[in-house]
Amino acid sequence: MILSALKILLPTLLSFVVGILITPTLTDFMYKYKLWKKKSRSTENTEAISEDFKKIHNEQEECNTPRVGGIIVWISVLLTVIITFLFQFMAKDYIGYEHVVTHNILDKINFFSRNQTALLIVALITGSIFGLIDDLLQIYGKELKLGDGISRKTRIFFVLLISAIGAYWFYVKLGMNTVHIPFGVDLYLGFGFVFLFLFVTLAVFSGGIIDGIDGLAAGVLIPAFMAYTLIAFANTQYDLAALGGAIIGGLLAFLWFNIPPARFYLGETGMLGLTIVLSMFAFLTNEVIVLGIIALPLFITSASSSIQMFSKKYFHKKVFRVAPLHHHFQAIGWSSPRVTMRYWIISIICSVSGVILALLS
């Protein structure tokens, strides 16, 4: 049990340290090449941009703060995976593998495994790189006459493509076709499992719009990944829990520099890969139902935008002053730190509640 706990703690600390160490170099690169939006939406003089929206968006911050800070998270995780993977084999050759204790310790260090973490690592890196391309197009696209970023339909198609591959892996390779109902039985879905996988992944991805205030997105994602790391540990899925720890470490390193005033934002390169992996965590731990509780702040934020668009289109009135929800709170007078801190509190409550429900059932 002690070795298993260290398996989660070591990647968490390593990823955090790696993130802290690489940030100064990456920050210099971001500012050198001005990796931020060249024009804020708040400066547009259109009816679609309300006065409330213009009031809460700081053009100076938005147009002078890099939007690709998410690379710190996934690069930290990737380097942690590589370091621990290589260390196992280097230590094996240097120390030897004959001693039982040494054998166990070295096996615990590496958390790359085909049945638990391989798919999630590939999904994280693939999604993050695609998100990085989107961010760069939003920054340089107009100058290069390539448009203003990847369209939302294309992003949705990409997420569905990645989730389809994930659904195939879970359904065919891992033989998963049921969903655990808390305090009940496992619900058999058959091929319907694939459609549920696609729906959940897309729903969690839609919560990526929460990346709009300093410290908000990372502060919401960290408790969610902590929750599933604890659930994975309780399920003895130690490799999966170690990956969760590495993601938490990378997010903490990012958050260290993202608290007000933010040095950079997560951007699509952060949110896209992380939201895809979060949904996969839920399925791999067989606790997808409690995802509705653990990731509630993401779902509510996404729902607020959908409600706003529906109401404006069919009833010609707004439900919120500004959507998504966190901007509504800003519009009614809450300061950005107040919104962020209260989101953090709600996220912690939701994550703890989800863990308790999962472990008790």
**Between the CA of residue 34 and those of 28, 66, 169, 264, 290, what are the distances in Å?**
10, 7, 39, 11, 40
Look-up of token digits 């949904």: 279
Alpha helices (H) along 96-171 = 100-109, 118-140, 152-168
Distance, in Å, from the CA atom of 60 to the CA atom of 56, rounded to the nearest integer, reads 12
Out of 74-78, 119-123, 148-152, least confident range: 148-152
Band (54; pLDDT cuts 50, 70, 90): low
Copy the structure tokens of residue 286. Answer: 């067989």
Q: What is the DSSP letter of 262?
A: P
Is 130's pLDDT higher than 50? yes
* Containing structural domain, residue 6: 2-360
Distance, in Å, from the CA atom of 38 to the CA atom of 59, rounded to the nearest integer, reads 10
The pLDDT of residue 89 is 72
CA nearest neighbour of 205 among 276, 134, 139, 127:
276
Distance, in Å, from the CA atom of 18 to the CA atom of 250, rounded to the nearest integer, reads 8
Which residues sit opposite 179 in a β-bridge? 187
The pLDDT of residue 47 is 44
Query: Span 195-201, mean pLDDT?
Result: 96
Band (340; pLDDT cuts 50, 70, 90): very high
Please state the pTM of the whole predicted model.
Answer: 0.93
The pLDDT of residue 45 is 45
Q: Exposed (0-12), middle (13-18) or buried (19+): which is 166, by Cβ within 10 Å?
A: buried
Distance, in Å, from the CA atom of 131 to the CA atom of 155, rounded to the nearest integer, reads 9
Out of 145-159, 227-241, 277-291, 345-359, least confident range: 145-159
Is residue 277 within 8 A of residue 81, CB to CB? The reply is no
Is residue 116 within 8 A of residue 240, CB to CB? The reply is yes
Copy the structure tokens of residue 147. Answer: 């448009």
The pLDDT of residue 95 is 56
Q: Structural domain tally of the chain?
A: 1
The pLDDT of residue 41 is 57
CA nearest neighbour of 225 among 309, 284, 312, 139:
284
Q: How many helices (H) and strands (E) in the chain?
A: 15, 2
The pLDDT of residue 46 is 45
Distance, in Å, from the CA atom of 56 to the CA atom of 39, rounded to the nearest integer, reads 16
Name residues whose C-beta falls within 8 Å of residue 172's C-beta, 6 or more positions apart in sequence: none
Which residues sit opposite 180 in a β-bridge? 186
Residue with the larger pLDDT of the pair 82 and 95: 82
